[in-house]
A = this chain, B = another copy of it.
Amino acid sequence: MALKGREIILGILADGPHTGYEINEILQNQLAHFFDGSYGMIYPTLKKLSQDGLVTSQQITQTGKPNKNIFAITPAGQTAFQKAIVTPTDDETFKSDFLMRLYFSQYLSATDIHDFIQEEIQRKEAKLTRLTSQLTLWEEQGMTPVQKITYDYGVAYYTSTLKVLQEALLAYPATTD
């Protein structure tokens, strides 16, 4: 059974207390290439976790900034997480709208295909940059050796697929610009 929002948030809080906003930052900066979370998932999950006694929250009144709720894991939450982490690993699922559309694009003109691939290259380069630019900060905050593997995995994924797309581009003429 795959780890879901519930267990993932619990896992992040197992490492120290955080606000919903900070959890989102971690998700976007470090786990974006293998998990995708949003506020619409984070806050409701945090609320439920609180109701179930797996996390506690402490409200901090701030001046100049909005108030924040700092969430911390409880012993019951720790137990729940330890239990979840030993379940069998689920298969990965990758959904690429880009590849799906490319798969069906045989009737597009060569220049349209060129532009379509070029756009994806730009998106991927931006993602790779976001990930690599985080490395130093992440290392300073404490990056475990296993986390380094997940980082290397992401870099390898972006780099290798970027190369495929760049080579594919050569077969399709650029729009004259």
Beta-carbon contact of A85 and B102 below 8 Å: no
Beta-carbon contact of A150 and B99 below 8 Å: yes
Beta-carbon contact of A164 and B146 below 8 Å: no
Beta-carbon contact of B161 and A97 below 8 Å: no
Which residue on chain B has the smallest CB distance to residue A100? B3
Question: Whole-angstrom distance between the alpha carbons of A100 and B27 in the complex?
Answer: 11
Instruction: Specify which of A36, A90, A93, A123 lies most central, judged by the most chain B CB atoms within 10 Å of its CB.
Output: A93
A61 within 8 A of partner (CB): no
Interface size on A, residues (CB 8 A): 54
Which residues of B are found within 8 Å of A150, using beta-carbon distances? 99, 102-103
Which residues of B are found within 8 Å of A149, using beta-carbon distances? 102, 117, 164-165, 168
Report which A residues bind B (CB closer than 8 A): 2-3, 8, 11, 14, 30-31, 33-36, 85, 89-106, 113, 116-117, 119-120, 123, 144-147, 149-150, 152-153, 156-157, 159-161, 163-165, 168, 171
Knowing that A152-B164, A157-B157 touch, tell me 9 more A-B residue pairs with CB under 8 angstroms: A35-B96, A35-B99, A85-B104, A89-B101, A92-B99, A93-B94, A93-B95, A99-B150, A153-B161
